[in-house]
Amino acid sequence: MVTLADVARHAGVSASTVSYVLSGKRTISEETRRRVEQAVADLGYHPNARARALAARRSHIIALVVPLRSDVYVPIMMQIAISVTIAARQHGYDVLLITNDEGPEGVRRVALSGLADGVILMDVELDDKRIPVLRELGTQAALIGLPDDRQGLSAVDHDFAAAGAMCADHLADLGHREVAFIGYGPGVYQRHAGYAERTLAGFQRRAEERGLRFVHRPCEGNYESTAGTLARILSDRPGTTGFVVQNEGAIGPLLSLLRLSGRTVPEDASVIALCPETLAEQYAPSLTAVTGPAQELGRVAVEHVMKRITAAGRGQRPDDELVLLSPVLTVRESTGPAPKRDPET
């Protein structure tokens, strides 16, 4: 293995000079810089990350904690993990994969051992058990998702309220007056990250502003549950012409069931989904959908940790940041103008 000392000897300078040439933390004469660079090339020198990490007190590694099973659609998780990795590389960082089966202890482990300089948490829950650990250890961290208390942390998430509002607007713009919001089962509303609530709240508020009549119906995301939910909606509010689906599992069943009930999409009923593009395009008809930019999530989270690590390295207290990313509405085949009203209504 070629070391700094070898390079120094070969170039006829001291080891520290080589170090400074490489780090650029000192002004170096053109002459020595050239000599050093030549020596590096001649010997095929590559800095040793272990020694560097020890001496510089920085591993240039961030830990990414991924859920084992989550409410997040798996391809999206992967997309986020990859965008985190690519973004980190652009800052000279590598990414250590931590699975959540280690629980909060996994976070403690990487932070305490000095393996990682910072941590990114995916799939953060409202009352996430990993967060107290971060606080206790003063670990620099960025969250993907919004917890109850984000004091001392930076966080990024989709702007779910805006997404909900966009759904209401789109249906209202198309002239729909009675709409239904098909949400998640009660479990999700209680347990999880509040994204279900935030979406619903955004939808409700905008729906009221736009004068829509609407109902919200929870749904477990399987065929039976969707059938029950739809039946109830259609009997309670037979005039319903617009459907917002938040639960990916309910999309397929809903489309089938609407067809069975004799309704054509989008002529008789419009369906707008809150889901990733790839999913929206899989169905026939393809779905008008509101989608959050998954890659951005990873990119911003990396910016967040990086800022914090840098600040902390300078002895400063990092700012707590919060970024909500705007979703995008893509109109496809599943929404259209509201049908003419029946005489009865």
Partner DNA sequence: TTGTAGGCGTTATCAT
Partner DNA sequence: ATGATAACGCCTACAA
Q: Which residues bind a second copy (CB under 8 A)?
A: 46-51, 53-54, 59, 61, 64, 66, 68, 74-75, 77-78, 81-82, 85-86, 89, 94-99, 101-102, 110, 112-115
322 binds, among DNA, a second copy, none (CB under 5 to 8 A by kind): none
Q: Which residues bind DNA (CB under 7 A)?
A: 1, 3-5, 12-17, 19-20, 22-23, 25-29, 31-33, 45-48, 50-52, 54-57
Here the tokens at position 302 are 């990396």
The structure tokens 């919060």 sit at: 322
CB of 239 to a second copy, least distance (A): 31
CB of 89 to a second copy, least distance (A): 7
Q: Please, which residue, 69 or 340, has the CB nearer to a second copy?
A: 69
Residues in contact with 213: Cβ distance below 8 Å, sequence separation at least 6, in sequence order: 177, 178, 179, 237, 239
- Minimal CA–CA distance to 168: which of 202, 217, 219, 218? 202
CB of 109 to a second copy, least distance (A): 8
CB of 75 to a second copy, least distance (A): 4
- Minimal CA–CA distance to 124: which of 113, 132, 115? 132
Q: Please, which residue, 87 or 165, has the CB nearer to a second copy?
A: 87
22 binds, among a second copy, DNA, none (CB under 5 to 8 A by kind): DNA
4 binds, among a second copy, DNA, none (CB under 5 to 8 A by kind): DNA
Is beta strand 178-182 parallel, antiparallel or unpaired with respect to 242-245? parallel
CB of 58 to DNA, least distance (A): 8
Q: Helices 130-137 and 104-112 sit at what angle, rounded to 10 degrees? A: 20
85 binds, among DNA, a second copy, none (CB under 5 to 8 A by kind): a second copy
| Burial classification of residue 283, based on how many CB atoms lie within 10 Å of its CB (0-12 exposed, 13-18 middle, 19 or more buried) | buried
CB of 215 to a second copy, least distance (A): 29
Here the tokens at position 77 are 């998780």
Here the tokens at position 52 are 């560097």
Tell me the Ramachandran region of residue 287: left when phi exceeds 0, alpha when psi lies from -120 to 50, beta otherwise.
beta
Q: Please, which residue, 7 or 279, has the CB nearer to DNA?
A: 7
Sign of CA dihedral 250, 256, 259, 264: positive
Q: Please, which residue, 28 or 329, has the CB nearer to DNA?
A: 28
Q: Please, which residue, 52 or 205, has the CB nearer to DNA?
A: 52
CA torsion, ordered 247, 251, 254, 255, to nearest 10 deg: 160
82 binds, among DNA, a second copy, none (CB under 5 to 8 A by kind): a second copy
Q: Please, which residue, 273 or 338, has the CB nearer to a second copy?
A: 273
Strand ranges of the sheet holding 178-182, from the earlier edge strand across to the other edge:
213-217, 178-182, 242-245, 270-274, 288-291, 328-330
CB of 64 to a second copy, least distance (A): 7
CB of 5 to DNA, least distance (A): 6
Calculate the CA 118 to chain-centre distance: 17
The Cα angle at residue 65 between residues 63 and 68, in degrees rounded to 5? 150
- DSSP at 273: E
28 binds, among DNA, a second copy, none (CB under 5 to 8 A by kind): DNA
Q: Please, which residue, 50 or 314, has the CB nearer to a second copy?
A: 50
311 binds, among a second copy, DNA, none (CB under 5 to 8 A by kind): none
Query: CA 144, CA 158: separation in Å to the nearest integer?
Result: 9
Q: Fill in the amino acid letter for 175.
A: G
Q: Please, which residue, 108 or 216, has the CB nearer to DNA?
A: 108
